[in-house]
Amino acid sequence: MTALANLYLITLTDLSLLLLLLQIPATAILLSRLFKGPTRQRPIQPQQPTPEIFGSVSVVVPTLNEALRISPLLQGLSQQSYEMREAIVVDSRSQDGTADLVKAAQQRDPRFRVFTDDPLPAGWVGRPWALHNGFLQISPGSEWFLGMDADTVPHPGLIAGLVQTAEKEGYDLVSLSPQFILKYPGECWLQPALLMTLLYRFDPAGVNTEQPERVMANGQCFLCRRSVLSAVNGYTSASSSFCDDVTLARYIAAQGFKVGFLDGAKVLKVRMYEGAIETWKEWGRSLDLKDASPRAQIWGDLWLLSAVQGLPLLILLSYGLLVPQPAELPILLLLGLNIFLLAIRFAMLLAIAPSYDRKTAKGGWLFWLSPLADPLAVLRIFLSAFRQPKEWRGRKYSNGA
């Protein structure tokens, strides 16, 4: 019995050493990113437009059966001042009256117009195709192209604040992270864990990233100089990408243009998906960013996520049941490291709390238990990292695009 106990302890100690070798370098990388947080640029604020930016922005919104979600966006865009020259809704033959809602908005605000894009060609995903068509339709007098999604809720002063920041900081492309609207218990628990997979892999919003392959972007609010988008032939470089925003932003950054990703929680809200199941299915399969990343980077990110987000809770739960007393030093070091990582995770939860609107959410308190969903969130990234979507936003694709 003693021999078996000794063998068990040796095995557990060896496993602890292996886990430490896996987790310590990943923890160092994570800390190097989080330490940049205090130096990040402040969140975008709503602004009043100046005469210099009047008529400088064309908004393009891709839609496919968005009648139930698009009204807050249309209302929010109508509240923007005349820095917004026009708002073009590119509708991909919606069957639910989306185009009729835009036409009704046009009666109140002549800056709106809607047109139907051409049939989807081979090699293109629906969203970048619609945005590319919209880009080709914008006024030659506009200096800026602003892509926005139908599920966003822009605050008054969003566009003015965004353009003024871009001009001041010299950005050629800048996108915003929004404030997420949560409504149901399951998404209050799961969605923050999925978001954390992005925060652990990339620099915080507001930190200028020097490496193009580490650039982040969000197509829900995606501002780009018209001249720059013309120089890269619109969305052509992201034609087959299911994360076209990141793919295009990294391509533009690689051409030497300045790309920024900023905190927009004070000027932009979004209601992405209804409930935990839809959040898991739809958002989870685009978070891997495989279309914008080389294979080595994907594997590196999966290692990092496993080490610092997926494993800490599992290690603490399992070792609490399995570790004999007194424990060997490697075991104690492993437990201490994972307690530290879990503490970081809860600190990050406090940091991202302003990025969530939970005022009307049922079970909003589950947000504070989202670290318990971390192993599931990391599993979701693994499941989608090497599998191309066959369906996206109501469209079916063969062999990916």
* Separation between Cα atoms, residue 269 and residue 94, nearest integer Å: 24
Q: Is residue 52 scored above 80 in pLDDT? A: yes
Q: Quick one: pLDDT band at residue 324, thresholds 50, 70, 90? A: low
Residue 129 · residue 397 · CB < 8 Å? no
Q: Quick one: pLDDT band at residue 1, thresholds 50, 70, 90? A: very low
pTM (2 d.p.)? 0.91
Q: H or E element: which one contains 148?
A: strand 144-148
- What pLDDT, on a 0 to 100 scale, did the predictor assign at position 245? 95
Least confident of 47-51, 232-236, 266-270: 47-51
Q: HSE-up of 354 (CA within 13 Å, CB side)?
A: 9
| Mean pLDDT, residues 363-378 | 96
Which 3 state secondary structure label does DSSP give 77?
A: helix
- What pLDDT, on a 0 to 100 scale, did the predictor assign at position 328? 79
**More confident call, 236 vs 207:** 236
**pLDDT tens per residue across span 137-187:** 999 999 999 999 999 999 999 999 999 999 999 999 999 999 999 999 999
Q: Is residue 242 scored above 80 in pLDDT? A: yes
Q: Is residue 401 scored above 60 in pLDDT? A: no
| Mean pLDDT, residues 30-57 | 91
- What pLDDT, on a 0 to 100 scale, did the predictor assign at position 188? 96
Which 3 state secondary structure label does DSSP give 24?
A: helix
- Please name the fold of domain 9-401: Spore Coat Polysaccharide Biosynthesis Protein SpsA; Chain A (3.90.550)
Residue 384 · residue 285 · CB < 8 Å? yes
Residue 240 · residue 400 · CB < 8 Å? yes
- What pLDDT, on a 0 to 100 scale, did the predictor assign at position 170? 95
Residue 53, φ and ψ in degrees, nearest 5: -105, 5
Domain extent listing, the chain: 9-401
| Mean pLDDT, residues 350-355 | 94
- What pLDDT, on a 0 to 100 scale, did the predictor assign at position 206? 81
Q: Is residue 84 scored above 50 in pLDDT? A: yes
- What pLDDT, on a 0 to 100 scale, did the predictor assign at position 277? 92
**pLDDT tens per residue across span 196-222:** 999 999 988 888 888 899 999 999 999
* Separation between Cα atoms, residue 284 and residue 292, nearest integer Å: 15
Residue 364 · residue 184 · CB < 8 Å? no
- What pLDDT, on a 0 to 100 scale, did the predictor assign at position 332? 87
Nearest one of 24, 369, 34 to 199, comparing CA atoms: 34
- What pLDDT, on a 0 to 100 scale, did the predictor assign at position 53? 93
Give strand pairing partners of 261.
175
Q: Quick one: pLDDT band at residue 399, thresholds 50, 70, 90? A: low
For the chain, the straight-line distance linking the first and the last C-alpha, in angstroms and rounded, comes to: 60
- What pLDDT, on a 0 to 100 scale, did the predictor assign at position 398? 64
**Residue 325 corresponds to which amino acid?**
Q
* Contacts of residue 359, Cβ cutoff 8 Å, sequence gap at least 6: none
- What pLDDT, on a 0 to 100 scale, did the predictor assign at position 203? 86
Q: Where are the beta strands (DSSP E) in 205-283?
A: 221-225, 259-263, 268-270
| Mean pLDDT, residues 234-263 | 95
| Mean pLDDT, residues 58-69 | 95
